[in-house]
Structure 1
């Protein structure tokens, strides 16, 4: 089998790239290790930047997100019983859209299937061969048979544990990593959100986030120990702890119910450089990970897709390699700014195990400065709604 662009990974970044290429008549094949049903059951963040929304519209999958998503013009930060609002539209003239990542993936699968896009599921033993030559191949096993996919270029959208990043020789790449000493315990419940906008809470007991998927489906998080397990937390224990970490007015309004999903996610920051080796290009979690604070994971993957899609259009439509040659440089320039924001916001809102009282007072002083300073609010708003591509 042959294609122009082999895409490893059938999550939202791989599907978005495939659908965008299709709109320009550029052929691709998507290889996914799991089943479609498995991919669609993953629970992920659901705050979309305008850049991702624009890409979805260009890909022909923007109708439902604008019809069913919830535009947010700001967000709330609390510390103790104090709470204040960062107004996105005042500082940037842009909102963000609350729309589940699962729904983004669902929309993209529907679009690829409607155009007979080539999607191969349950592939194993994936190997990228000849990425540093003019004739790369992706070899894989499906249904017990070994297959070879010849291509012009390979897009590695297969996540942190995928084969793509590991294909780049260790002597040619450098990894940067920060592991945080806590995780997020997340609960999904069929309850109305406690507020119509997100609440990021800093408390003496640790961080909390009140989020939502829609008017009847809420997503809540609390900072927890790395050695905690979801089964260690009963629903009642979770709701009690969440109430202790958010302002009293919101705690009194909180509607609780049985959890329909409960999980713990560790927090880490990770970047690998470069994001290109020969004709192999890394996208999304294959190249970088951010803490979930600020919901930058999917949005940063989308910016990678933008740069790679632009470069592939240039090479196929204009025989101009400039976009591909500068892909890693351009993607990383934005990645590091996103990493900085996620690190700053995580540091601002969480309690660290070795944090001294002095450091906690400094943390509160910075939050108070953010509450009272318009320039600081503008900087946060610009980063939250998404830096330009």
Structure 2
């Protein structure tokens, strides 16, 4: 089957799905191809905090109806160090909020709207092969339900993640990747129990980082810092709850336990590609950059990318390519600010890992205690945190 559209999108995660809606809102046709099954895409458990800026984007394109009905609006977070908990009031500090709404639900909403509109979205495609992005006639070939498809497009967009096929189209002599690995990982659980907190708790404890988040009024999401080489088999439910009780505990507060329905260990790393553009290829989301989860920026960064890219593609389709020519620069300038914040939050809230020399660990740990004491005691420092946590402006 032959297709001719202005834009071919590879990857139907939240970035690709949202980009499709933005293009449709501007009257730009597209084909969206995903090599995973629809059920697999829906099953991936990811971020659960949306910046105010991200909510604004979804609102702008009429995609936030269920978010506003079911999302949990939070006006701040709690920072805790060695049992002392301080509330950081975003509304008072910067007049903004965040919304707890799982990435799975964002994907469900975007998929449902594409279904209503009859968008050309292909799940479970094989042999997905973009080509010709360095010339004037990009192509995207794939096989779906036993039929071969060829898409002729003006632009190919890679929203297919770090290991996707699109990023590999950029020659190695052009693409540099700046990366950092962290000597900590997150053990995350989902539990069928009502949250024990009104807003997220980020805690530094001598045993390691602990975090209490949530997915709904009846489902809690909690995290523990562990070594990246640890095995989830080493963590029984009883051990997990005991560690959470220890790290999150504070006077006058109780952590309620419940059945754990999912648990896994996720390493942390940072990665930024030197460019998000090559010829008629453009990258967005995890295809171009990855952040550690501490600052809740991964999904939000992807939304910001496609908000900028969608507008730029629409302008280019109308004959004005200035926004598209500057997309990579603008997106990366914003991304490096996000990387700074995510790294800052991660370093501040985690104990030194096994790679830290034994003699340096007490100093590094106490300096992080001091850093948290400064942040929780300074309105100016809290404003900086609040501004970045609730979301930087999207051009």
Contact kept? 1:20, 1:58, Cα under 8 Å: no
Please state if 1:356 is matched with 2:356: no
Taking the aligned partners of 2:147 and 2:66, their CA distance within structure 1 comes to: 38
Question: Is the deviation greater in 143-152 or in 290-299?
Answer: 143-152
Please state if 1:280 is matched with 2:281: yes
Secondary structure at 1:102 match in 2:
helix
TM-score, normalising length: structure 2: 0.96
1:359 Cα shift?
1.5
Secondary structure at 1:268 match in 2:
strand
Q: For the aligned residues, what is the CA RMSD? A: 1.2
Question: Of 361, 380, 385, which aligns to 1:380?
Answer: 385
1:145 Cα shift?
4.4
1:134 Cα shift?
1.4
1:139 Cα shift?
1.6
Taking the aligned partners of 1:75 and 1:37, their CA distance within structure 2 comes to: 33
Contact kept? 2:16, 2:32, Cα under 8 Å: yes
Taking the aligned partners of 1:219 and 1:167, their CA distance within structure 2 comes to: 37
The match for 1:344 is 344
Taking the aligned partners of 2:145 and 2:292, their CA distance within structure 1 comes to: 36
1:142 Cα shift?
2.6
Question: Of 361, 364, 373, which aligns to 1:368?
Answer: 373
Secondary structure at 2:251 match in 1:
helix
1:10 Cα shift?
0.6
Please state if 1:58 is matched with 2:79: no
Taking the aligned partners of 1:264 and 1:149, their CA distance within structure 2 comes to: 39
1:124 Cα shift?
2.2
The match for 2:159 is 157
Equivalent residues in 2 for 1:137-156 (5 A)? 137-156=139-158
Question: Of 47, 50, 58, which aligns to 1:45?
Answer: 47
Equivalent residues in 2 for 1:6-85 (5 A)? 6-85=8-87
Equivalent residues in 2 for 1:1-389 (5 A)? 1-249=3-251, 253-317=254-318, 319-353=319-353, 354=356, 355-389=360-394
Taking the aligned partners of 1:110 and 1:146, their CA distance within structure 2 comes to: 26
Q: How many residues align?
A: 387
Taking the aligned partners of 1:164 and 1:51, their CA distance within structure 2 comes to: 27
